[in-house]
Amino acid sequence: MSEVAATEADLALIRQALTTTQQLHSYHFTLSSRSETTPSRGSGTLRIHGSGFLSTDDQLPITGWPVSGNGGPTQGDYTAPDQAYWQFPTDSPRAELIRGNQVFIPDAQHAWIPPQPGDILLGVPGRVVTDTTATGGTTERRTVYQPEANILRRWSAILTAQPRYTDVGTEQDQGVTLRQFRGIIPAPAVPVRQAGTPPPLMEMGGGQVRLWIDPQTRYVHRFVQQWTVTMHMNMEEMAATPELAALFPPAITVTETLTLVLSRHNDPMISIPAP
């Protein structure tokens, strides 16, 4: 079946499925991400597993999205209204726990403790804030974490922004007939630069989202988001460091693909560990 424009009934199904799934009492999720960077030095395309979260204040990489390494994708559970458990497939098994506005990580004895200064959380977005004291002008940087246990809600703003959806057709998944929709997200408007003005360090490109929905239960089963980011190098600094100039091109475009799979919708057996 070729793609056709989504009808008003299709759009209503998408909105209802997003609302219904976010209101579930519980679900299990798997999350994986992949980056493809072009152009790259050397042979082939550089492939990076995992992706990053940029703070809105300082544009610093504060926490990475969970990686999908040799141990498989990140897995976790959610229970309403605000509890989640994350298990990451890192070299050393890592877990995080969200309960309300509190975040916990395991210590060496596997007891749940709050994150300590300098800890980097993998599943909880954070941003750097800079505090300057009134006397002495001392500057202190600290990380403010923004817990959100319901992982689907993190993309609600994108999914409800009415991308240009098309109906891709149906797909069988473990005996369930799912409807698939694809939404195109246009690139944000880029301000006109004056002649001689260097490009910004980072430019967001367009992207797309894909949704797989059970039309009977109105549950979301799978969500894929893909987007591009172009990073421009500071060529003046590169010229002063020839060894860097030999490694990096003037611009690098990164294509990020994130896949979220939801299962065990409203399963009463799902529970979150107590800290």
> What confidence score (pLDDT) does residue 143 get?
64
> What confidence score (pLDDT) does residue 190 get?
60
| Residue 235, CB-side half-sphere exposure with 13 Å CA sphere | 9
Helices (H), the chain: 8-22, 156-159, 235-240, 242-245
Tokens of 74: 């990140």
> What confidence score (pLDDT) does residue 80 get?
96
Residue ranges and CATH numbers for the domains of the chain are 4-75+150-263 (2.50.20)
> What confidence score (pLDDT) does residue 44 get?
31
d(CA 72, CA 50): 12
The three-class DSSP label of residue 176 is strand
Strands (DSSP E) contained in the chain are: 4-5, 26-38, 46-49, 51-54, 61-65, 74-79, 83-88, 94-99, 102-106, 112-113, 126-132, 139-145, 164-173, 176-185, 202-214, 219-232, 251-263
What count of other Cβ atoms lies within 10 Å of the Cβ of residue 108? Answer: 6
The rounded average pLDDT for each run of 10 residues, N- to C-terminus, in the chain (275 residues) is 89 94 96 72 33 32 39 84 86 77 87 81 66 62 74 77 87 95 79 61 78 97 87 60 61 82 96 90
d(CA 68, CA 47): 12
The three-class DSSP label of residue 219 is strand
Instruction: Collect all residues with Cβ–Cβ distance below 8 Å to 61 and sequence separation of at least 6.
Output: 52, 53, 54
- Indicate if the alpha-carbon torsion angle 126, 111, 79, 174 is positive or negative: positive
> What confidence score (pLDDT) does residue 203 get?
72
Please state whether 264 falls in left (phi above 0), alpha (psi between -120 and 50) or beta: left
State the pTM of this model: 0.76
> What confidence score (pLDDT) does residue 258 get?
86
Q: Is 253 exposed, middle or buried (0-12, 13-18, 19+ CB in 10 A)?
A: middle
* 39 sits in which H/E element: none
d(CA 31, CA 35): 14
In contact, 254 and 213? CB cutoff 8 Å: no
In contact, 80 and 100? CB cutoff 8 Å: no
